[in-house]
Chain A
């Protein structure tokens, strides 16, 4: 039998999954559609700051606890790849909200989240810096989409093709 993650890890994982999915979808929407722009941006920023807080808690939990073993279907090389991609995803999940926060600061805008809480500025008012951060925010968004696609695909192949109960470690 495959070990499962403890309940707190599972809750943190699925909350992050839903929030990141929503933040990405709203992010791609608000940079294309011209309707409801103010509400979309406000929701996106609130989601981003929420993700930042959750991922900090999640990272603390992950790197102070040993996760359950992988099923036997995971070999040495795949294990290395999984380990590397997990660390990359943590790095991106932390970086993306921080880049967004700094980017809004660099545009000279108030960083207002949760309908009225103004956060301190992470960067000075500087349009060139904004440009760099803005591009980085998009690059990170596409990288996250690619990493999530690879992550879900790998879990589905393990669970359905190798029937090793990979998904069950994170469910039930």
Chain B
């Protein structure tokens, strides 16, 4: 229990001036105490404030920019908001196992939870052929050897730095008066980021396919495979489609998604996982393609069997964080990987604490 000592000293005040339980409080001792407390609190609370100081590009900057450009859509991903979930499996042929010790590359099957999406933060945006298509995959969810990857149907990425992505996001904001980004703002942005302009040229040259089912989805960022002997090799991966896409039939706002759902209701869809092994001298800058003669290894086939409306428990609830990697795959020093991981975590926190809304694409409403 509590010590009751000190009561005797309480009344023994043998000095003039303030005191505390018999101890004289001198000006010096009070100032010393308060000064030390002030110094400690300044350092302690100052450090907390320092971590979210203004003027730096934080994950909050990105989330604020998405809200500014696309509006506030509670419960949805802050980017790639529009999408559908899929399930299936990956059949490894074992060819990747000599390059990476990840269990996903050993011969056999791994369950896959995935999500097709369109780039942008508006969950109700109308499908357009030129909007970037995304495919997020989580291999072996929710196991210990998980591999998550979020890919795009582009040959290269548009930015090679978090600041570049941020500036492009703001520069591409639609002007309500014209329905297009402000051309002067975009021109100023491109003048500052020649690498993005060059990447846009490469993307323009790559033909856009009919739909989700016949798109090639690529990591764009560079990673490293770590082999059974510990050898590290630079890698970029792609999922190459095995089928044509059903043409978008309706001219409706979900034409591309509807065609994908229709096709998935008829038959499973297949992609080949192609690992492109880089030379150590190849760039990790994702706006730069690698030479076309690099060695490739086809590691297996992704089979997607079922489309699902985004809902609790399916890929809606997966954060396709590019740094969730199994032993045997490691990130490169590309700063976009860390930034993506950080901002995705912020988006995941926001949307999991917001009320959920009904996703615009409803799988049940599409007939096979």
* Binding between chains A and B: yes
At the interface, is chain A mostly helix, strand, loop or mixed?
A: helix
Please measure, in the bound complex, the distance between the C-alpha atom of A125 and the C-alpha atom of B312, giving whole angstroms. 10
Please measure, in the bound complex, the distance between the C-alpha atom of A41 and the C-alpha atom of B3, giving whole angstroms. 43
Pairwise interchain contact A34-B2, C-beta atoms closer than 8 A: no
Pairwise interchain contact A33-B56, C-beta atoms closer than 8 A: yes
Residues of A with C-beta under 8 A to B23: 73, 162-164
Given that A32-B58, A72-B21 are known contacts, is A37 also in contact with B341, CB under 8 Å in the complex? yes
Contacts between the two chains (Cβ within 8 Å), count: 160
Which residue of chain B has its CB nearest to the CB of A30?
Answer: B342
- Of B28-36, B94-102, B205-213, B293-301, the stretch lying at the interface with chain A is B28-36
Pairwise interchain contact A160-B33, C-beta atoms closer than 8 A: yes
B358 CB–A CB distance under 8 Å: no
Please measure, in the bound complex, the distance between the C-alpha atom of A101 and the C-alpha atom of B175, giving whole angstroms. 44
CB proximity of A139 to chain B, nearest CB, Å: 12
Tell me which of A36, A38, A145 contacts B45 (CB under 8 A): A145
Given that A72-B5, A72-B21 are known contacts, is A37 also in contact with B48, CB under 8 Å in the complex? no
Task: Report 18 cross-chain contacts, Cβ distance below 8 Å, ordered by A residue.
Answer: A24-B48, A32-B52, A33-B51, A33-B342, A38-B331, A73-B22, A79-B2, A80-B2, A110-B143, A125-B317, A130-B348, A131-B349, A131-B353, A145-B45, A156-B37, A156-B40, A157-B33, A160-B29
Interface residues of B (CB under 8 A from A): 2-6, 9-10, 20-23, 25, 29-30, 32-34, 36-37, 40-41, 44-45, 47-48, 51-52, 56-60, 62, 138, 141-146, 162, 312-313, 316-319, 323-324, 327, 331, 335, 337-339, 341-343, 345-346, 348-349, 352-353
9 closest A-B pairs (Cβ-Cβ)?
Answer: A161-B33, A131-B352, A127-B317, A108-B142, A72-B6, A28-B51, A131-B353, A118-B144, A34-B339
